[in-house]
Structure 1
């Protein structure tokens, strides 16, 4: 599993499966061993897949956020994810099971947008440190309509007070 975890840095397509299997290292079963063998068979069949960067890039960054509310069937904790592309090349990816159980899908999606906004800000700082000009705003995509409404509506309602800090974080970035 250690070698598979190392491989996830250049193979983001296996990161979720490997991280899920690594949760059971203390007490693995035959099903976990079969899952690890399936990952190895997938890697063998897809050797040429990896991160590819084009030399002629216009350095436009776009990001996507998504979450799986009650994503873990055992604990009902949600799984958050974001990814960022430089043109068509994946440059940043994170998928993580959170430590808390969320109260609503809007809360989960908005928290993910806040995490994505922080990652976008870090990418801007990184490009600045590398002396790469990035004059366009980073576009952050989200598929939850209530979250988009909360982000664009400056009025906080009674039901959204618990996510007010994340709302302010995203609004400051916008």
Structure 2
């Protein structure tokens, strides 16, 4: 879900781009003027984290986290939690231009109070995934119409936890402007319910964005399209009648 069209490889456009970032600030972010838009990247900052973690010469990873991990059940003690906490803080800053690691970093944040050895290994795996795509960043096109599109998903009871995780990304004119992953407050009884709750959370963000754009003098006349990959959740949203199987869902979610 997070690997969507708003992201583009910096390496593929370097030949037609000119660097405009201040050299003294390249450790935080770089701005590249590309053909048809602007690219934001944190390549130098990522390289600094890899170097500080001793992973410069390590082999890159194709995925930021194992699919069937059991990190919530890890018990192997880790001597000093401070390096883990610093690493997670730096990874959180990287999500400013790398929404594709938002879910993994958000999950690893749960263990900063008492990290285990497996959590450190998982955080290093995220870094090795970033090493595989150092030049990736956010692309902001200048020619696309200013229409809002949103994509949402839910990890129903993901991992060893009972609560589901909501994830969404919202694009304005083809550029990612808002994204988030967050644990749902209640335990969903089905994947359809988890996805339906994710849709409600995403719509709340859409309403706020449309209001913000209107206040800034940039109204978006067209309706915002919301994409969801769960047919049952879509049927619930499209049918306004009361549903016997969803009557336990809080009323505030039924404005979808």
**TM-score surpassing 0.5?**
yes
Comparing 99-108 and 124-133, the one that deviates more: 99-108
Supply the distance in 1 between the matched residues of 2:183 and 2:150 (Cα, whole angstroms).
Answer: 19
Partner of 1:18: 105
Partner of 1:48: 135
TM-score by length of 1: 0.87
Unaligned runs of 5+ in 1: none
Partner of 1:159: 245
Tell me: CA distance 1:151–1:37, structure 2 relative to 1, closer, same or farther (3 Å). Answer: closer
Deviation at 1:157, TM superposition (A): 2.9
- Are residue 147 (structure 1) and residue 233 (structure 2) matched? yes
Deviation digits for residues 106-150 of structure 1, max 9, x if unmatched? 221111111111111111011112211211000111222222222
Q: 1:79 aligns with which of 148, 156, 165?
A: 165
Tell me: CA distance 1:130–1:28, structure 2 relative to 1, closer, same or farther (3 Å). Answer: same
Larger fraction in helix: 1
Structure 1's consecutive aligned runs of 4 or more residues displaced over 3 angstroms after TM superposition are: none
Q: In 2, are the aligned partners of 1:67 and 1:108 still within 8 Å (CA)?
A: yes
Deviation digits for residues 67-126 of structure 1, max 9, x if unmatched? 1111131x3111111111123221111111223211222221111111111111111011
Partner of 1:125: 211
TM-score by length of 2: 0.61
Supply the distance in 2 between the matched residues of 1:106 and 1:44 (Cα, whole angstroms).
Answer: 35
- Are residue 32 (structure 1) and residue 140 (structure 2) matched? no
Q: 2:188 aligns with which of 102, 114, 133?
A: 102
Supply the distance in 2 between the matched residues of 1:159 and 1:45 (Cα, whole angstroms).
Answer: 44
Supply the distance in 2 between the matched residues of 1:110 and 1:33 (Cα, whole angstroms).
Answer: 33
After superposition, the CA RMSD in angstroms is: 1.8
Supply the distance in 1 between the matched residues of 2:152 and 2:241 (Cα, whole angstroms).
Answer: 23
Q: How many residues align?
A: 169
Q: In 1, are the aligned partners of 2:210 and 2:219 still within 8 Å (CA)?
A: no
Unaligned runs of 5+ in 2: 1-87
Tell me: CA distance 1:101–1:41, structure 2 relative to 1, closer, same or farther (3 Å). Answer: same
